A = this chain, B = another copy of it.
Amino acid sequence: MLSKTYTKYIQSLHHKKVRDTEDVFIAEGSKVVMELLKSAIFSCQQVLGLQQWLQENENSIRKYYAGPLQVIDNFDLEKISSQSSPNQVLGVFKKLTKTTVTAKGKISLVLDAIQDPGNLGTIIRIADWFGIPSVICSNNCTDMYNPKVVQSTMGSLGRVQIMYTTLAEWLQKNDTVHIYAAALNGKNVSELKGLKEGIIVIGNESKGISDEIMQLCTEKITIPKKGEAESLNAAVATGIILSHIFP
């Protein structure tokens, strides 16, 4: 059984403030934990798993991780998990040091105030699918280490560089690169086919791209609408845009 103190410690990592102070985050579920261990980018501090899961996976875990393996039961797992259906294992990983990226010579994804953790995680997974090396988030985007973000990246967190920054400043620093705003009444997204360098800006789920950022964009791109829905989900729009750049 887990100690009360350690249980409370893991629970406290559900909150950004504590993750920031402690400089660690939690990842949950067999797939995500294994992918982060394999990535060799994140240093793991602790793996807490059901006995059967640890037995079945010990050999593969030990290829990537030499630290403590803590056996827990379902009761412990439910207490420390942030999920409604906890999945066998939880890992405590060290956060990455902050990175700085530039936009030169590649496709970059810029997120302006993405609030939904599921959307951010899904967008990181999409970036990984299309081989986008970096995602630049405004400081008011949801935290990349939120357990729901980590969960919905499905392990892609270790393969995409994520930078939080003052977006306007970053865009101004990279002003030799064309900046495309995902918005209504722009150029058809299919015209981006084969683009080799460019910044794609995705806006907030309900408000879209903020005025300040929109003014820095050089062109609007649009996913043609044939029906009645007012908008598309932000992650879906991101996937569509990238799929037209890399057909």
The reply to whether B228 and A128 contact each other, CB–CB distance below 8 Å, is: yes
A232 and B118 in contact, given A223-B243, A226-B246, A243-B240 (Cβ under 8 angstroms) = no
Contact with B along A214-247 (1 / 0, CB 8 A): 0000000001111111111101111110011011
Question: Are B131 and A227 in contact, CB atoms less than 8 angstroms apart?
Answer: yes
- Which residues of B lie under 8 Å from residue A130 when comparing CB positions? 225-227
Contacts A239-B240, A240-B243; is A154 near B224 (CB within 8 Å)?
no
Kindly state whether residue A135 has any CB partner on chain B within 8 Å: no
Instruction: Specify which chain B residues have a CB less than 8 angstroms from the CB of A223 in the assembled complex.
Output: 129, 243
* CB contact between A125 and one of B155, B156, B226, B233 (< 8 Å): that residue: B233
Out of B152, B188, B243, name the residue touching A244 (CB < 8 Å).
B243
- For chain A, the count of residues having a C-beta within 8 Å of the partner chain is 39
Q: Is A159 an interface residue (CB 8 A)?
A: yes
A122 touches B226 (CB 8 A): no
Min CB distance A225 to B, Å, is 6
> A232, B227: Cβ atoms under 8 Å?
no
Chain B residues with CB under 8 Å of A159's CB are 227-229
For A239, give its contact among B154, B156, B232 (CB under 8 Å).
B232
CB A61 to nearest CB in B, in angstroms, measures 19
Whether a CB of chain B sits under 8 angstroms from the CB of A163 is no
Complexed CA–CA distance, A246 and B127 (Å)? 23
Are B126 and A236 touching (Cβ within 8 A)?
yes
5 pairs of residues in contact across A and B, judged by CB atoms under 8 Å? A126-B236, A154-B230, A156-B228, A233-B239, A240-B240
Known: A125-B233, A126-B236, A223-B243. 4 other contacts (CB 8 A): A126-B229, A155-B230, A224-B246, A235-B236
Interface residues of A (CB under 8 A from B): 118, 122, 125-132, 152, 154-156, 159, 188-190, 223-233, 235-240, 243-244, 246-247
